[in-house]
Amino acid sequence: MKILVVGGGGREHAILRALKKSPLQPQLYCAPGNGGIGYDAVCKAIPATDVAAMVAYAKEEGFDYAVVAQDDPLALGMVDELAKAGIPAFGPNAAAARIEASKVFSKDLMKKYGIPTAAYETFDDAAAAMGYIRARGQYPVVIKADGLALGKGVLICQDEAEAEAGVKEIMLDKKFGASGNRVVVEEFLTGPEVSVLSFCDGKTVVPMVSSMDHKRALDGDEGLNTGGMGTVAPNPYYTPDVAAVCMETIFKPTVAAMAAEGCPFKGCLYFGLMLTPNGPKVIEYNCRFGDPEAQVVLPLLESDLLTVMQATTNGTLDKTEVKFRAGAAACVVLASGGYPVAYEKGKEIAGLTEGQLPDAPDVTVYHAGTACKDGRLVTAGGRVLGVTATGDTLPQALDKAYAAARRIHFEGVHMRSDIGRRALAALSQN
Ligand code: AMP
Ligand code: GLY
């Protein structure tokens, strides 16, 4: 069986590593992939967003299955095009990917089906948006670009002046391009955040182990928003009671709503939740595995990922076992100095042998932004590596991940030193 994974970051590496363990022994390919992924899969330099070239490559190689892991090719309909070419793929079609690709679509879906989320209004006119924000007069206020914006299209504005600047940036200056043609203005919620990824086959939803992301660049949740500087799983705030509430009020209703709207969701549906004083609410949906959530969730998956993925495509998830091991996982991201703003690339990475750390049991190094240059690994992106460790407990997993991360070096390397600190504090209160 030949399988293509579309994407080239740490999440895709985590997916490939999980597929590599499959008893079905697939031959693994990745496009575009990266330097470190090259040790685990055949990489082909096709941009993930080039749907036509990707489908042509998939036909040429005769792949039996594809995994489209990244949001933009999903929104562009890569799964639809692969299906037309006779290649089944993991991930939603373009219609279902709107649950992430359009905030207006997802907010309207939640309103229509009574799924708990922040109160909101949508606007396609900057003056009208500002008029509403002024009349409402409550701060902070949250402004979201409608479309995909590399995770940067959400602004939390503390006062009218910030809101004005935000609306201008998104709607008039078009900082996120056409993604800012419409905005959602919503209520500011408070509470611990939880990421829950789930497998969906259009009818059945099976949540995976919960996780916690650390989105800000610096310790203490200071600094700019990033794609994610580290993760832990499970998330201690996500107790069995909370999970039961989420299943009944959010997960099942969302999957049923998508089916009722004529766009059943197949693939990985990511619920970004906030546990507010008024119960769990949806902050956002993503139509794919989180990055770096996949790097802590998939190492805890005991069942065969390939079998489960195929069950989402075939609609047989209700008959498929999805089991996670007990214990915990932690991922610490090593980033280039200056990320998420300006940073240099091409720095040699020291400490790895064939992309991995020797003599580091329970540790996997997932490559996010690396390249192979003259046989040496060099940095090639903002987030460079995700160092994941598993353990029987969260403290064990964190100790192993940090010990491993400190053995890897490149010029300017930056990591947060407090990944998991809040989770540990929550654990000690339980
Ligand atoms: P997103 O890009 O949708 O994941 O949003 C980025 C971050 O903004 C989230 O992880 C939250 O921390 C924060 N956020 C988004 N919406 C709200 C909201 N309504 N209230 C408070 N924080 C929010
Ligand atoms: N880590 C957040 C995301 O993948 O969207």
For residue 288, report the distance from its CA to the centre of ligand 2, in Å.
9
Query: Which of 187, 209, 243 delimits the end of a domain?
Result: 187
Q: Is residue 352 part of a domain?
A: yes
What pTM value is reported for the model?
A: 0.96
Residues 146 and 208 in one domain: no
Residues 44 and 179 in one domain: no
Name 272's bridge partners: 195, 284
- Exposure b/e, 385-424, CB count within 10 A at least 16 = b: bbbbbbbeebebbbebbbebbebbebeebbbbeebbbbbb
> If you ran DSSP here, which 8-state letter would residue 77 be given?
T
Residues 173 and 267 in one domain: no
Q: How far apart are CA 249 and CA 254, in angstroms?
A: 9
Residues 71 and 219 in one domain: no
Question: Strand, helix or coil at 236?
Answer: coil
Q: Is residue 275 part of a domain?
A: yes
> If you ran DSSP here, which 8-state letter would residue 279 be given?
E
Ligand nearest the Cα of residue 148 is: 1
For residue 382, report the distance from its CA to the centre of ligand 2, in Å.
15
Q: Is residue 109 part of a domain?
A: no
Q: How far apart are CA 368 and CA 35, in angstroms?
A: 9
49 Cβ contact partners less than 8 Å away, ≥ 6 residues apart: 72, 73, 76
Q: Say which amino acid occupies 250.
A: I
Q: Whose CA is nearest to atom 3 of ligand 2?
A: 290
For residue 235, report the distance from its CA to the centre of ligand 2, in Å.
15
Residues 218 and 341 in one domain: yes
Q: Is residue 106 part of a domain?
A: no
Q: Whose CA is nearest to atom 4 of ligand 2?
A: 290
Q: How far apart are CA 312 and CA 289, in angstroms?
A: 14
Q: Is residue 234 part of a domain?
A: yes
66 neighbors 58 (Cβ within 8 angstroms) = yes
Q: Is residue 97 part of a domain?
A: no
- Judge residue 187's burial from the number of C-beta atoms within 10 Å of its C-beta, 0-12 exposed, 13-18 middle, 19 or more buried: middle
| Ligand 2 atom nearest to CA at 215 | 1
Query: Domain limits at 139?
Result: 119-187
266 neighbors 48 (Cβ within 8 angstroms) = no
315-352 pLDDT per residue, tens: 999 999 999 999 999 999 999 999 999 999 999 999 99
Q: How far apart are CA 207 and CA 248, in angstroms?
A: 12
Residues 22 and 136 in one domain: no
| Ligand 1 atom nearest to CA at 187 | 19
Q: Is residue 46 part of a domain?
A: yes
- pLDDT value at position 148? 86
Residues 269 and 416 in one domain: yes
124 neighbors 178 (Cβ within 8 angstroms) = no
The values of phi and psi at residue 134, to 5°, are -65, -45
Residue-wise pLDDT tens for the chain (430 aa)?
A: 999 999 999 999 999 999 999 999 999 999 999 999 999 999 999 999 999 999 999 999 999 999 999 999 999 999 999 999 999 999 999 999 999 999 999 999 999 999 999 999 999 999 999 999 999 999 999 999 998 887 778 899 999 999 999 999 999 999 988 888 999 999 999 999 999 999 999 999 999 999 999 999 999 999 988 989 999 999 999 999 999 999 999 999 999 999 999 999 999 999 999 999 999 999 999 999 999 999 999 999 999 999 999 999 999 999 999 999 999 999 999 999 999 999 999 999 999 999 999 999 999 999 999 999 998 999 999 999 999 999 999 999 999 999 999 999 999 999 999 999 999 999 988 7
**How many other CB atoms are there within 10 angstroms of residue 150's CB atom?**
12
Q: Which of 274, 287, 293 to mutate to test the pocket of ligand 1 (most atoms within 8 A of CB)?
A: 274
Q: How far apart are CA 153 and CA 142, in angstroms?
A: 10
**CATH code of residue 412:** 3.30.470.20
Question: Strand, helix or coil at 42?
Answer: strand
| Ligand 1 atom nearest to CA at 152 | 2
- pLDDT value at position 162? 94
| Ligand 1 atom nearest to CA at 151 | 2
Q: Is residue 105 part of a domain?
A: no
Residues 406 and 287 in one domain: yes
DSSP state letters, 153-218: -EEEESSHHHHHHHHIIIIIS-TTGGGGSSEEEEE---S-EEEEEEEEESS-EEE---BEE--EEE
Residues 141 and 262 in one domain: no
For residue 195, report the distance from its CA to the centre of ligand 2, in Å.
9
Number of domains in the chain: 3
Q: Is the peptide bond before 73 cis (omega within 30 degrees of 0)?
A: no
**How many other CB atoms are there within 10 angstroms of residue 358's CB atom?**
9
Ligand 1 pocket at CB < 6 A: 118, 142, 151, 154, 156, 186-189, 193, 215, 272, 283-284
329 neighbors 299 (Cβ within 8 angstroms) = yes
* Greatest C-alpha distance within the chain: 61
Residues 252 and 401 in one domain: yes
Distance from chain centroid for Cα 199: 14
**CATH code of residue 24:** 3.40.50.20
Q: How far apart are CA 35 and CA 375, in angstroms?
A: 10
Q: Which two tokens stand for residue 164?
A: 């004005």
**CA dihedral for 300, 306, 307, 310, sign (positive or negative):** positive
Residues 165 and 236 in one domain: no
Query: Which of 154, 187, 220 delimits the end of a domain?
Result: 187
Q: Which two tokens stand for residue 236?
A: 């201690």
Residues 284 and 424 in one domain: yes
- pLDDT value at position 150? 75
Q: How far apart are CA 264 and CA 48, in angstroms?
A: 24
Query: Which of 74, 91, 108 delimits the end of a domain?
Result: 91
